[in-house]
Amino acid sequence: MSDNHSDKHQAGSQSESSASVDQEKRKFLIATSAVGALGCAAAAVPFIVSMTPSERAKAAGAPVEVDISKIAPGEMMTTEWRGKPVWIINRTDEMTAELTKHNDKLSDPNSDVTSQQPSYCKNPSRAIKPNLAVIVGICTHLGCSPSAKLQPKGDMGDSWTGGFSCPCHGSKFDLAGRVLKGSPAPINLVVPPYKYLADNTLLIGVDMEEKA
């Protein structure tokens, strides 16, 4: 009788022990699953963030508003649009008049390569207003940034009527960004889309026919 009771007691103890072990395993598995899930979530966060455009990236292609009121005649300023320098040149009447006098020196005097400027800038000044040029300051040869040589003659020689000279490989452009014959650059400098918001305010990156 006592042996039978002892066997039942031992079996009960083993059952309780097994239940305890099962309970501990269950807790361990739940905890491990939770940690694993958190790890996966943590790993996913950097990927999701990297797929979200930064404010800087979104702004890179945004139109740029520019106050041009302080550019004196014969001078220029540089702004940035889509990570590129954009020149805004306030040409004097003499500079503007010169643009029609040296077509024989230019590779594309009439801006026939239409990809280089908006349709409303396909004119001798390559601009909406003849005196104000808006040009992307990147050479169309290998992407250097030309130097401004706005004044005639000087260190550019007696035949120089003003424009831009690329220090990398010697490409030369007139004051409308048109490439001179003999330059390594194959086409004119780019005129970006732009419009006037007011007499002294430009919006670069939006065509004059479009709404901002």
Report residue 126 as tokens: 């390559």
Q: So what's the pLDDT on residue 157? A: 78
CA distance 147 to 186: 18
pTM over the 0.75 mark: no
Running DSSP on this structure, what letter comes out for residue 59? H
pLDDT tens track for 62-116: 999 999 999 999 999 999 999 999 999 999 999 999 999 999 999 999 999 999 9
Sheet of 132-136: strand order equals 75-81, 84-90, 132-136
* Per-residue model confidence as pLDDT tens digits over 115-124: 999 999 999 9
Portion of the chain with pLDDT greater than 70, in percent: 70
Six-digit token string for 164: 């831009």
Distance (Å) of CA 133 to CA 3, 51, 95, 129: 109, 38, 11, 8
31-60: average pLDDT:
43
Tell me which of 69 and 33 has the higher pLDDT. 69
Q: Span 46-72, mean pLDDT?
A: 65
CA atoms of 115 and 124, how far apart (whole Å): 16
Pick the range with the lowest mean pLDDT from 4-18, 119-133, 187-201.
4-18
Mean pLDDT (the chain, rounded): 80
pLDDT of 170 > 90? The answer is: yes
Which tokens is 100 given?
């029609």
Which residues, in sequence order, are CB contacts of 129 under 8 Å at separation 6+?
196
Q: Between 6 and 150, whose confidence is greater?
A: 150
Alpha helices in the chain (DSSP H): 2-51, 55-60, 93-98
Active site residues: 169
Dihedrals φ, ψ of 30, to 5°?
-65, -45
